[in-house]
Chain A
Amino acid sequence: MRFLLIEDNAELAGSVIERLSLDGHAVDHASSLAEADVCAVRDAYDLILLDIHLPDGDGRHFLARQRSAALQTPVIVLTARSAVSDRVSLLDAGADDYITKPVDFAELGARCRAVLRRHGRGGDTLTLGDLVLDPDRAAVRIGSESIALRNRELRVLQVLARTPDRVFSKAQLHDLVFGVLEAVSDNAIEVYVGRVRKAIAASRYVRIETVRGVGYRLVRLDAG
């Protein structure tokens, strides 16, 4: 997915970009409305993340311009204002969703996915040999058989499958799947990996390998 992040705080911007990249997205960064106008006009983005308080103006004006130009890119607003009345007005102004600062990255990821799904730009299906990962339907298809997955199981598989052969430590998997605040034990991570293994057991093309002392990775088996 291609994202546009419009945020003037360099530190926050850096973290968001880093996090979204780990999820496999490409992120462009604008640090003012002026820059944003230049980027957004191409409408080549799947999602725009907009900070409502920018040095050169209120993000609402950007929103208004987007809507009046009938641009369909969904927008998620980043705001420090927490009052219900402020948030209601954001949605009225044309935002698809909003997230409050301090930003919880797990929540950010979840909201991005939800908004994209609503706009029919849901997660691209990921195909690896006989395995098709369908995030919109929260399912995995192996051949003609479809296996439902819970959200977290799906996330584990997504993380591993996006970069096959790359090893993820339990800690890394933890952060990417469960978010920072959950104190999920190593045990629980093992359990999740176990469930995913079971789900994709029928595949003759991929499997999840335990790299002892390091972590897990998805490997492609040679066909045949």
Chain B
Amino acid sequence: MRKLAATGSIGRRLLIELVAIAAVLSVLLYVAVKASSSQAAESTHDGLLAASAEAIAERLAADEGNLVVDIPYGALAMLGAVSDDSVFYRVIADGETLTGYHELLGPTQRPNPAETIFYTTELDGQSVRVAALSRRVALAGRTVPAEVLVAQTRYGQQAIVSSAAERAALIGVGSFALAGVLCAIAVRRALAPLRRVASSVERRGPADLRPLREPLPHELEPLGNALDRFMARLDAALERTETLIAETAHHVRTPLAVLRTRAETALRRTEDVEMRSTLRDLVRAVDASSRSADQLLEHAMVGHRSERMSLERLDMGRLTDEVVERYRPVAELRDVVFDCEIEPGVEVTGDRVQLETALRNLIDNAVKYSPAETHIDVSASRRHDEVVVHIRDRGRGLDGAEQQTLTERYKRGSNVEDVVGSGLGLAIVEQVASAHDGHISVVPADDCGTRVELCLPAA
């Protein structure tokens, strides 16, 4: 059977997509955590810088017509206490540096008196964070603009930021891993109903065309309904075919029956040797058509029944016996005798109609090809884990034909033209055997005749 090209797995696609989402979210989480912790650290730092700048600004005073400032080293020390960073300050009064680092750059815009502004700049090749505020100080009857700048290198800050980043990364990776695991579990659970349905359909026997019985999730309902409808259609089609086969049999046989009767009657009414021979040929032809039609229909029936076998435990020995009994009167007509050795209790699991059809074909063959007054050996026995039905006739044999050829449809032996047959018998038996996981073997018997074995797995 052709395997459908798999277009990937729903489960895998879903998992990949969920994991990708988790990855994106984890990265966003990392970025957010890092940013907000950097932000927090920076505002704290800025606050300290601002406090120091205010402390210095408060010490701005006028003294004998000059602005002086009394640097509160305690405040600056506080800054230094947090980390090993260097602290710088610069006080600018009226455009001139009063004290501190000249090189410390001022802000690009003069800050308003009420606000402190913060900016980052370079000083001596290091990056520094600066807090700048401005005041107007009274001096000799007028107010003078003054600026206070407090700066600190950012090594401490950077250390905080990178440890925050590390922590954020750990949180990100950890949450990603957890999300991945949870997604995998969730995907598996979500797809469980699909797997259940698939395995239950798979477990059905070849003949099981009943509708699905498991409750299905909402999304699978359309599929389940389609499957049920399909099976119902298949079942109906097979039943129609079987009925058609049976009807056809009837229609084919009725005119043949009339023809044969007339021929036989004519045959008995004439003594003319040639006429008798011709009429005999006619009857043989009728029988051949009839047998052909029979076996054609048997062949088709067996083929269809393979799709809807009704399996039961069968005693192959008893079945073989029944079929032999059925053929005994016909065999007796030519003094052909059955020698039977049937073991009790040799059981198989199989379709009764198919197996009976196979046995009939085999025994019919044996009787047909047995010369008058010969014996046919029939046995049914258990061999290891197989049941073997063995039939041996003492007829003309296979004349070198191989089993391979004989089981092909419409192939007959080269030495059987005078015997009525359609060439389908062994093909039918082989089909039944393989439908039951068994096989047949057809080989020449020791001195004359043919040995046929039908082997089936024991129940």
Contacts and interface: CB of A to CB of B under 8 A. Distances in A.
A, B co-complexed: yes
A102 B257 CA distance: 4
A223 interface: no
Nearest to B305: A85
Interface string A164-183: 00000101100100111111
A106 interface: yes
B245 interface: yes
A101 B250 CA distance: 9
Interface stretch (A29-37, A107-115, A196-204): A107-115
Contacts of B353: 83-85, 88
Contact of A102 (B246, B287, B301, B356): B287
Residue of A84, A85, A110 ringed by the most chain B CB atoms within 10 A = A84
A82 B257 contact: no
Contacts of A104: 287
Contacts of B276: 171
B294 A82 contact: yes
A180 B283 contact: yes
Contact of B253 (A100, A151, A175, A181): A100
Interface stretch (B156-164, B185-193, B263-271): B263-271
A84 B356 contact: yes
Contacts of B28: none
B290 A107 contact: no
Interface residues of A, number: 40
B333 A106 contact: yes
B249 A81 contact: yes
B301 A151 contact: no
A179 B301 CA distance: 31
A18 B334 CA distance: 23
B197 interface: no
B264 A180 contact: yes
Given A107-B330, A110-B333, A113-B329, A83 B260 contact: no
B4 interface: no
B168 to A, nearest CB: 78
Nearest to A85: B353
A103 B287 CA distance: 10
B258 A9 contact: yes
A107 B329 contact: yes
A103 B261 contact: yes
Q: How large is the interface on B (under 10, 10 to 19, 20 to 34, 35 or more residues)?
A: 35 or more
B297 A102 contact: no
Contacts of A151: 332-335
A114 B148 CA distance: 134
B253 A101 contact: yes
A92 B356 CA distance: 15
Contacts of A178: 333
Of A110, A113, A172, the most chain B CB neighbours within 10 A belong to A110
Contacts of A101: 253-254, 256-257
B286 interface: yes
A207 to B, nearest CB: 24
A64 interface: no
A82 B260 CA distance: 17
A14 B418 CA distance: 29
A107 B333 contact: yes
Given A88-B356, A171-B276, A181-B283, A102 B332 contact: no
A188 B273 CA distance: 16
A175 B267 contact: yes
B372 interface: yes
A152 B335 contact: yes
Contacts of B249: 80-83
B360 interface: yes
B330 to A, nearest CB: 5
A122 to B, nearest CB: 13
B305 to A, nearest CB: 9
B246 A83 contact: yes
B373 A150 contact: yes
A28 interface: no
A81 B250 contact: yes
B258 A11 contact: yes
Contacts of A163: none
Contact of A181 (B280, B298, B329): B280
A84 B253 contact: no
B284 interface: yes
A150 B335 contact: yes
B357 interface: yes
Contacts of B267: 175, 180
Contact of B357 (A84, A103, A169): A84
16 contacts: A9-B257, A11-B261, A11-B262, A14-B265, A15-B264, A15-B265, A18-B265, A80-B250, A81-B250, A83-B301, A84-B298, A102-B259, A102-B286, A103-B260, A103-B261, A171-B273
Given A102-B286, A114-B332, 20 more contacts: A18-B265, A81-B246, A81-B250, A82-B297, A82-B298, A83-B297, A84-B356, A85-B353, A86-B246, A101-B253, A101-B254, A101-B257, A102-B256, A102-B290, A110-B329, A110-B333, A152-B333, A171-B271, A183-B277, A183-B280
Interface of B: 245-246, 249-250, 253-254, 256-262, 264-265, 267-268, 271, 273, 276-277, 280, 283-284, 286-287, 290, 294, 297-298, 301, 328-330, 332-335, 352-353, 356-357, 360, 372-373, 418, 420
